[in-house]
Amino acid sequence: MSTPAQKDCIIAGQILLFHGDPFLITPTEAVTVSPSALLISNGRIADIANLETLRTKRPDLTVIDHGDALITPGFVDAHAHYPQTGIIASWGKRLIDWLNTYTFPEEQRFHDAAYAREIAAMYLDFLLANGTTSVTSFCTIHPESVEALFEAAEVRGMCIVAGKTCMDRDTAPEGLRDTAQTAYDQSKALIARWHQKGRATYAITPRFAPTSTPEQLEALGALWAENPSCLMQTHLSEQTDEIAWVKSLYPEARDYLDTYEKFGLIGKGALFGHAIYLEPREIARLQETGSSLIHCPTSNTFIGSGLFDMAARKADGLRVGLATDTGGGSSFSMLRTMAASYEIGQLRGAALHPAQLLWLATRGSSEALHLEHQIGSIAMGLEADLTVIDLTSTPAIAQRAGRSTDIWEAIFPTIMMGDDRAIVETYVMGRPMRPT
């Protein structure tokens, strides 16, 4: 099924534009906000100018004027687990116990294609309600779970990245294990079916070193070498207990990253979730190979993982994306995720500027996913995925924004206190999508 074509239109509001990386140049020069308008044609941004100019140029088009609302690129959630939608906010466990107690039992339900379809649809609608237009999601070991998510995204016209989560080690429960061969075969079939079909991208997905045998990591490394335009997603150095566990399972590895590196699972297009506790050798290899890190702040506080060092990793020159990591993360909202990232920055001694937070949730993530030529910015020729944000969505936010003396002070209360109530509209390829 394909989505109906969206009619050309003009969308106006306070538009957020990027002129550089706000971690490399002054944030307020890298990111600007000004009243402006977008000409949307065939789902893409065809022009950016003031409203009167575009009205004069194209008097035939409908104008959707969002007034004082902020228009940002659609949020890009660079790491999530859609099958964990039903167990989000599960109490009292740290990573390994949390996986065994809550996550693995729920993921076993996804052998049922109807259940997978039901959760996939609900999940993507939660994202759209929260202004998120793209996600990179783990699925479960079941190919049905991957089909369900890609199909639900196709119906909505969304640009997503997903892959079959591979686990063949007896550290995972019996009903949730594949083999090195079936992981290879099923992932290969899913690549043939979905990769670069419409807006879909496939990510080869070993869950993490503790749930794969070296044979499985080797098979998935070979599959990636055969399909280099795919992405590769996994987890790295999230909790100290996990790192000790990896050491015991892979005694010959130089460090956690080496368990992946040995099998070619590193490099441009590799997405490492969390990456909180890194050795100097790991940082050097991540830099040299152009790998991406994905920061998941609500997850890192919720499961008690630790404090990612954003300032240091950006100074290292790494690509860093931002993500919810639901259901380890405690929210579907990238606004809540930006707020948590700010708080972790504060605990690390670095206050992230609102321009940096918005950049991470959009362009930073799209660069981490190597999709910046398609999504993550408002720029000529890019796909018109947009989020429209009310900067006065609750009385508490409105009274604080009302005291602001510049645009960043007006935006920051929504980043720190906002949620889905702040999302006025979510456009996917220029089509309004926010569920009512």
3-state secondary structure of 11: strand
| Residue selected from 238, 367, 372, 419 as contacting ligand GUN according to rule CB under 6 A | 238
Instruction: Spell out the alpha helix ranges (H) of 157-211.
Output: 180-194
Shorter beta-carbon distance to ligand GUN: residue 14 or 103: 103
Q: For strands 44-49 and 31-41, give the pairing.
A: antiparallel
Residue 238 beta carbon to Zn ion: minimum distance, rounded to whole angstroms:
8
In the complex, residue closest to ligand GUN by CB: 328
Pick 23 or 138: Cβ nearer ligand GUN:
138
Pick between residue 84 and residue 366 the one whose CB is nearest to ligand GUN.
Answer: 84
Choice from 13, 27, 297, 328 touching ligand GUN (CB under 6 A): 328
Q: How far apart are CA 199 and CA 181, in angstroms?
A: 28
331 binding ligand GUN? (CB under 6 A): no
**C-alpha torsion 384→329→368→370, nearest 10:** -50
Task: Express the helix, strand and coil content of the chain in percent, nearest 5 each.
Answer: 45, 25, 35
Selected binder of ligand GUN within 103, 187, 331, 414 (CB under 6 A): 103
The answer to the question of residue 77 lying near Zn ion (CB under 5 A) is: no
Contacts of 22 (CB under 8 A, 6+ apart): 30, 31, 353, 355, 356, 359
**What is the residue type of 132?**
T
Q: Binder to Zn ion among 144, 325, 372, 383 (CB under 5 A)?
A: 325
* Window 247-286: residues binding Zn ion (CB under 5 A): 273
Which range, of 95-103, 247-255, 359-367, 422-430, touches ligand GUN by CB under 6 A?
95-103
Residues facing residue 89 across a β-bridge: none
The whole-angstrom separation of Cα 87 and Cα 95 is 14
* Residues between 75 and 94 that touch ligand GUN (CB under 6 A): 81
Write down the least CB distance from residue 433 to ligand GUN, Å: 27
C-alpha of 2 from chain center: 23
Report residue 395 as tokens: 């009385």
Q: Given the structure tokens 């920061």, which residue do they identify? A: 295
Nearer to ligand GUN, 133 or 299 (CB): 299
Looking up tokens 């206190």 gives 417
Residue 238 binds which of Zn ion, ligand GUN, none (CB < 5-8 A, kind-dependent): ligand GUN
Q: Which of 133/137 has CB closer to ligand GUN?
A: 137
* 235 makes contact with ligand GUN (CB under 6 A): yes
Q: Is the dihedral of CA 318, 323, 329, 330 positive or negative?
A: positive
Does residue 177 interact with ligand GUN by CB under 6 A? no
Residues 38/15, Cβ–Cβ less than 8 Å = yes
Q: Which parts of this chain interact with ligand GUN (CB under 6 A)?
A: 81, 95, 99, 103, 207-208, 235, 238, 299, 303, 325, 328
Q: Which parts of this chain interact with Zn ion (CB under 5 A)?
A: 273, 325
